[in-house]
Structure 1
Amino acid sequence: MAQAHRSAKRDFRPHRIGRPRKTVEELRTEEVRARLSLTEKQKLTDDARTAGLSEAEYVRRLIAGHKPQGSGRCDPRLLYELNAIGNNLNQAVRNLHAGRTQRESWEELRRQLEEALTKVAIGDVR
């Protein structure tokens, strides 16, 4: 009985785990070198960073005919600020429905919203 168990164990072959191998056409074996001006290099770096891509991936997508867009990622500090403002808005609305509105709280909320929108518009989140 123990013999059968050992042979069954040897015959067991696990399935391959991970992504499939790339085809010959998908392998990236070629390298391109290009000279850029300082301004061009900085633009490439900035555009790639804005898109959330490496410079190489950014160039590959341009070659493929795609204009890479921003990554859609948001600065965590901005999300924190907007969350805090949202909490204040919820409290203000709750007070409004309860009949306990205070003009000062609405003015403070308006100021916070204007400040957050200005930060988003100019991209200055600190």
Structure 2
Amino acid sequence: MTVVRRGALLTRAVLGTADLAAAPLVAALENGEAGPLTVPVYRVLGVRQLLQAAVVRPSSPAALRTAGTIVDALHAASMVALALRSRHYRSGAIVQAAIATGFVLSSLSPRTRLVGGRPW
């Protein structure tokens, strides 16, 4: 497992847990408020992130990793569209697009094996 992919997996699990367990706080931090629509959306996003972290691992078959990358790319694209259409949700959508884009880029990182904790 590469350092980048290990970090992305841990980051996804932490973000998913935060979105699920502290949805009002995360929604308020990203959007400036925790409205009646945003809190459930963040909880659903948290469940999705946790499921994806559990199912799509660096050691998963290529087709499953590709599917995970596609899900992240679609999420990023939908958040860009939301940011362009809604001033109200723009800041949260930009944050979510950046996070999803980061996951897409991490999935494209080269396959450097770790030997003794160091990339070789």
Give me the TM-score of the superposition, normalised by structure 2.
0.32
Structure with the bigger RCO (C-alpha within 8 Å, sep 6+) is 2
Whose helix proportion is higher, 1 or 2? 2
Give me the TM-score of the superposition, normalised by structure 1.
0.31
